[in-house]
A and B are shown apart, each in its own frame.
Chain A
Amino acid sequence: MIVAKRKPLNEIADMVAPYKKVAVIGCRSCVAICLAGGEKEVKMTVSALKVKNKKEGRRQEFEALVVERQCEKEFVKEVEDKILSSDLVLSMACSLGAQTIGDMYPDHLCFPGLNTGFFGVPEEQGVWSEKCVGCGNCIIHTTGGICPISRCAKSMLNGPCGGSSNRKCEVNLDIDCAWAAIYDRLKLQNRLDLIESITPAKDWSASHAGGRRVYVREDARLTPHQKKGREAVQ
């Protein structure tokens, strides 16, 4: 899931200050799970902004809305009238949600209310950790199911490095060495031979370096005829 964090309220308030009617739109997917932009967080943000406005004597109108998945156009369409009748949309979804609204209504302003962090998992209640950087070329079958790209500070493919000491990383002693974890996992799986095999330099062309990535599944796409039919139904 995508893990995000609410921007500081004063930053949000400064962003939305010049606009009279603000639609604050959350998302019930990843950001609701990481307690950043779900229904409750949207309502709390709106409430806190109203209290701040009261203190500063500013008059603004806020509307709190939540959609199922803000990165999908059909769900955003459900609140289209609210978006179009507002002066500004404050997206409390990840950057994907904010950009989806931006792409659908390019002449309409949509500002981010969250700082999008990383691809991660909930470790325990209230704790989320990064597990993937979306490099486009997964190798965790050779590393015991642990991603060295995201979890090793140096993204080493052949570790551990000389900076690993007592299972900790030299970058920060609070960080566990990813390669120590990989060693343990491979040992448990009886596959320690893998740690001695050399992994060649990674092909980063599948990663972000080449600009925006687009994946296409031709069999899932609609033909022009199908598109026409769907538009007719809508």
Chain B
Amino acid sequence: MTHSFGYSISQSRETNWDKLDHRFADKLLDLEPSVRLCVGCGSCTGTCTAAPRSGFDIRKVHTRFRRGEAGAFVAELEKCMFCGKCSMVCPRGVNIRNVMDLMKKLIEA
């Protein structure tokens, strides 16, 4: 179960690109191409309504997902309140709420 992974203990020590499963990430980029525009500025996390209390970091979660570590942060996604502020501030126009939705969809599938 993905829920048993803690936030910090489950992180792998390195990103071994050769061994990671990139299918989920590729699918995500396919379904929501705007995610490619992310420059990792952190505006989304900075404005996030859930972040101050929960430490939820959408930028990091989505980056790990794109690196091929799809399952590692799934429990994190459950902190999101879906308020939409992230999408409102993103300087690159990434449809972040759809990215959230799709990440969950891909993991659950």
Do chains A and B interact in one complex? no
